[in-house]
A and B are shown apart, each in its own frame.
Chain A
């Protein structure tokens, strides 16, 4: 079996006309709808009598008018034009694109969860409250921290929540600290979160071996330091063994250690953030706990805190009462308040619970083992052709900085698409890199095929670099002119 994709096909395809990929607004006919609604059985209200004329609509919103079958075909075609975990190997570093178990979807769709209203009585929601309570406790145990809030909507929202908690803590101690340290390899949401929380972010250097430069950290930590936001295993894919020293440097100045938990997959059951000095952390359930990414959400970003930060957690919190029943509790005088409406991304949390309880403590540990094994295996197989700036062993992901004359990391990434493989993360956290995260759920067969494809691309760059530079060749469109698209943005359809 050849691993080389079929030769470029669409180079000979005639230029496709707009109507070959019509939008909803370009199909359909006046008066069509794909829904059959019941007839109203109440008297029609005289609108003019009920609402001042100035407020009444003169017309109806001009939504598309498409019949049911055509609509099904439309969305079917759109679905076919997406890479997904269910169809493609997806080694997208930092994003933990692991298999999203079917049973999670089944659980979340159960009527007892899906059809519950946020304002129904606690007494009618005991099952979901108990689930959330158990999840809260499981996540606290995995973190090695005493309490977790389930409210935040995603990782970045968890970061914001965590930093707000830390700000509240300093404020309660009569301090007005203003700077937050972030490593130069930090994810973009970390510094952006500092700004959202009204704080200045100051970058801390990394050493050539990918670890934090402790001297630089020491120099930058002072009485104005709110916290350090760190990722560990870090974004270059190594566990920073100096983490305990990092914590000590911060704590000596009264600053807090914030952990971006994006990479928790690699340490489940191996080591716990609370045990290595972390004061606050967030999880990404859509990475570590297999809740689907859904083309960019919904996720969830539960936040765990150390004892001294518990008073500041958001409300309401799910609690177990003395009589064994469960309830929402808002009795927390020093709380930062609510960070979103209602109580959280419940449907996502149901999936995370299902995943955690399905795996159990042994299964979670197995996740860490196998994800780290998979990453180190790929690294070992690729290292001769793909230089890796940081020394092995890696955690669950690793970085290569390809060094070919004929093509760059972009080209390699795009060429992978022709082989049905989603590109790795590109150009972050260091220039010109590819960040590869296989996750624990792939088979050895898939990993070996990936290696084969990567090596074939390396050969191809030497023998036929234009093919790589012109990739992808098998997609509905080639590389798009994103610069022009942003200079003159057309972000909504309009009739000609």
Chain B
């Protein structure tokens, strides 16, 4: 069986590079990228939760909701000039998104390179669940939705009557269109799946593993994902039910 022994050994699928300072060196590694994914994920989780909680003001009526929007612009004024805190938060979010997406992209490439020939028979997964195996798709859906959402309610509007500085009316106008409301619900369910795996996974990536709290990690992920989804899905439903309306 000489032919079988003349085989080439496995080739590295990733090459090692020159040494670099700590943050660069860390980010080059897959384990480091997972730290970045976890940290930016935590930042984005904080945002998504605050966004949902803040928007609950919708149920207190137009004045309260619009006032809340104004309040965000005036955060820490007069210690800092107008809009400064808002912009710091925005830039932070943009950076977090960019790093989260770049790390995800690089790791996906790496993982595809690590198994070019797939299993030819059907896999029978035991632990890997729907959420964990569709992270990149739920992520892409949420990302595309986010762009649309920004056009819809921050930048230009998407067809429904749009008034700058009157978010309450804009929300009511946009979400009273049934296909738009459905899109919001679908995107939030994708977000829920993403959060369900992500907010468990981050503990492992961060090395936060302790018998004292390990059994709470899954519960936390379920609770967090459910909280955000239920809160967010309440908005389109409230608009369609007429609880929140433009007039």
Genuine A/B complex: no
